[in-house]
Chain A
C-alpha cells in the first residue's frame, strides 16, 4: 500500500471510532456505538496484520485466542454488581500490555528511536506499570477482597515523592544505555512504577473509588497513546487519546459531583482542616459509637411497628413517589425488590421515578446499570440536576441505602467534609421514608440531620427486608 492510502485507511478507521462515540447518547444508540467501535478495532487489527509480515504467527494466534477466550468467559459470567471490579481489572490488563510493548520496543531499537519516541517509551512503561498495579488494588477494593477504607502508610507523601524521584532518575540514567544495562534499568523502572501505583491507590478508598477508577481509565488510555508514539502507529495514538479524553472527563464529572478537587482525592486530603472543623469531624467520628447502642436496640426490635404502619400509610397516600437508591441498596442486593415495589406503586396509579446521584455506586453511572438489570425502564431514571427542583412537589421520597448523597448537612452546615457537595434535595419532599441498615453516618462521617427529622420515617434494618415488608403490606390491603 502506498503511504497516502495508508493514511486514508487510518483516517477512515479513526472516523469509525469517532462515530462509535457519537452514538453514545441513548442506550439504543450506544449499543450500535459499541459495535461500531468494536468494528473500528477489528479493522485496526486487520490493517496492521495486512501491512506487516509476521514471524511466529502461531504464537500470535494462540495467545490472542487464549486471551479472548478468558475475556469472553469473564465478561459473560460477571454480574452487574461486579462490573466495577472487572473494569478495574481490565484496565490493569491493558496497562501490562502497554508497558511490555513500550519496554520491548525501547530495548530493541535504542538507536533508531527518536528522542520524543524514547520519552514516550519511558512514559508508556511507567504509566502502564503504575496503571497495572493501581488497577489491581482498585479491583481488589471494589470486589471487597481487600479493605475498602483508605490505607495511609507512614510518610505516605514522602513515599510517593521518593518513588517518583527514583523513577525520574532511572529514566535519566538509562537514557543512553543499551544492551543488558538497559534491561536492568527497564526492569527496575517497571518495579518502581508498580510500587508507585500501589502506594498511590491504597490511599484512595470508599466513596472516592469512582474517581480512582475513572482516573485509571484515563491513564490506561494515555499509556496506550505513548505506546503508539514509540511504535509510530497513528491508530494506537488516536485510540489512546480518545480513551484518555473520556477518562479525564469522567474523572472531572465525579470530582464535581463530590465538590472535591482531583488532587485532594488522589493525595488523600479529607476536608477537615481548621480547628472548628476538626472538632466537628471528630464528633462525627465519635457519634457512631454513641449511636450503636440505639441501633442495637433498633435491630433487636424489628423495625418499630408505628414507624412501619406510618410508612405504609405514607406510601398509600402518595400520588408521586421518587425512589432514591444508594450503594447500600446494591450491597443488600435489594434492587430487584425495589424495582418490584416501583412496579406495584405504578399499578396503584402513582407516578414513580428514580433519581440517581452521579456518584451513587462504585463507578460513574453504576447505579443506572444496576437498576436496568432489575428491569427498571430507563425513561424512569432521572438525573440529579434536572430533578432537584421537583422534590418540593413530590409526595414521597423513598431512600434505599443512601446516606451522604441525601445528607442536607452538605448544604446547611459549613465546614463539614461534605459541605458544598451537590445532594439530592430529599428533605424537600412532603414525606420521606429511609430504608437504611443503621443510623450511622455514611462514608463521610457526617451525621445526617434527616435521621432526626420527625417528618422522616426510618425503617432501620436490611434494605431488602424492609422493602419486601412494604411490598407485602401494600399488595394485601
Chain B
C-alpha cells in the first residue's frame, strides 16, 4: 500500500514540477516543446519491455513487439524531429 502512495506522490510531484517549468516556456518554442513531450510519452516502451521480463505466450509476444515498435517509432522520431526543428531557429549572431 505504501508503494501506491509513493507512486501517487511521484505523479503529483512530477506534474507540479512540470507545471512550474512549462509556464516559463515561451510561445516561440511551443511546437518543439510538444514534439519533445510527445517523445517523452513514448516512455511506455519501458512497459512494453517489461512484458518480456516473464515468460510470454505467442499473443503476448506479438502484442509486446507491436508496442515496442510503435513506442520506439514515437521515441526516436519525436526526439529527432524536435532536434531538426530547433536547429532551424537562428539568430543574428550565428545565423545569416
Contacts and interface: CB of A to CB of B under 8 A. Distances in A.
A93 B39 CA distance: 10
B18 A245 contact: yes
Contact of A236 (B3, B43, B56, B64): B43
B89 A27 contact: yes
A74 B61 CA distance: 26
Contacts of A377: 90-92, 95-96
Interface range on chain B: under 10, 10 to 19, 20 to 34, or 35 or more? 35 or more
B37 A114 contact: no
Q: Interface residues of B: mostly helix, strand, loop or mixed?
A: helix
Contact of A45 (B21, B38, B45, B95): B45
Q: In this complex, which of A28, A55, A100, A114 has the most chain B Cβ atoms within 10 angstroms of its Cβ?
A: A100
Contacts of A62: 65
A90 B74 contact: yes
Contacts of B49: 45, 48-49, 52, 54, 60
A35 B12 CA distance: 25
B22 to A, nearest CB: 5
A21 B39 contact: no
A70 B73 CA distance: 6
B73 A59 contact: no
A91 B83 CA distance: 18
Contact of A378 (B11, B50, B74, B91): B91
A55 B56 contact: yes
B23 A249 contact: yes
A62 B54 CA distance: 18
Interface in B27-58: 27-56
Interface in A59-78: 59-60, 62-68, 70-72, 74-76, 78
Nearest to B64: A104
B52 A368 contact: no
Contacts, number: 368
Interface in B6-20: 6-8, 10-19
A243 B51 contact: no
Contact of A383 (B4, B27, B40): B27
B42 A59 contact: no
A280 to B, nearest CB: 31
A213 B33 CA distance: 13
A68 B14 contact: no
B70 A97 contact: yes
A375 B90 contact: yes
B46 to A, nearest CB: 5
A45 B33 CA distance: 22
A246 B6 CA distance: 22
Contacts of B90: 372, 375, 377-378
Contacts of B18: 21, 241-246
A447 interface: no
A298 interface: no
A101 B82 contact: no
Given A31-B87, A52-B53, A67 B34 contact: no
A250 to B, nearest CB: 6
Interface of A: 14, 17-18, 20-22, 24-25, 27-28, 30-31, 33-35, 37-38, 41, 44-45, 48-49, 52-57, 59-60, 62-68, 70-72, 74-76, 78, 80, 83, 86-87, 90-91, 93-94, 96-98, 100-105, 108, 114, 116-117, 213-214, 217, 220-221, 223-225, 227-229, 231-247, 249-250, 253, 356, 358, 363-366, 368-369, 372-373, 375, 377-379, 381, 383
Given A52-B49, A97-B48, 18 more contacts: A24-B25, A45-B45, A63-B66, A90-B73, A93-B74, A94-B44, A96-B67, A98-B44, A100-B48, A102-B47, A105-B47, A220-B41, A232-B7, A249-B22, A365-B29, A369-B31, A369-B88, A378-B91
Interface of B: 1, 3-4, 6-8, 10-19, 21-56, 60-61, 63-92, 95-96
